[in-house]
Amino acid sequence: MTKHFVVTAAVIGAMALTAGLPAMAAEGSGRPVCIRSYDIDHTETPNDNTILFYMHGHKLFKADMVNRCVGLRNNTRGFTYQPTNPGTDEICSNLLTIHLNDTGQVCLVGAITPVEAPAGKTSP
């Protein structure tokens, strides 16, 4: 009877520990969010910490900078980036660097997340 109790307790404990795993895998699966560069219609830089990627098809992605990218918002000549993986057209969260064309400063992009586009904000 004691063995049965120990096994049952172990099974219940394992079930309790793994109950949250599917949600964690969905939110933090370890895979970066990637967007295809040719799907980008235009970008907007509301501040030195954020890039908004307005996509063809009315989708919007927000990219948060790892650290404040001084001059990003006021950068008159924009920024340049390379696809994350050579030979692809994808840019991915936590794997992308941008170069400010005015100053040459290099900044690291952190999380890229999909967001709802505000009404009437799908083109410049």
Same domain, yes or no, for 84 and 23?
A: no
- pLDDT tens digits along 44-64: 999 999 999 999 999 999 999
* E strand or H helix at 50: strand 50-55
Same domain, yes or no, for 66 and 90?
A: yes
Q: Calculate what percentage of the chain has a pLDDT beyond 90.
A: 51
Residue at 121 is within a domain: no
- pLDDT tens digits along 3-27: 443 333 333 333 333 333 222 223 4
Helices (H) and strands (E) in the chain, counts: 2, 8
Q: How would you classify the pairing of strands 40-47 and 50-55?
A: antiparallel
Tell which wins on pLDDT, 90 or 16.
Answer: 90
pLDDT of residue 18: 32
Q: Is the pLDDT of residue 109 over 90?
A: yes
Same domain, yes or no, for 10 and 71?
A: no
Same domain, yes or no, for 43 and 23?
A: no
Please give the average per-residue pLDDT across 63-73, as a whole number.
95
Q: Is the pLDDT of residue 123 over 70?
A: no
Cα-Cα-Cα-Cα torsion 98, 65, 54, 91, nearest 10 degrees, comes to: 50
Residue-range definition of the domain harbouring residue 66: 34-115
> pTM for the complete prediction?
0.69
CA torsion sign for 73, 75, 121, 32 is: negative
Residue at 46 is within a domain: yes
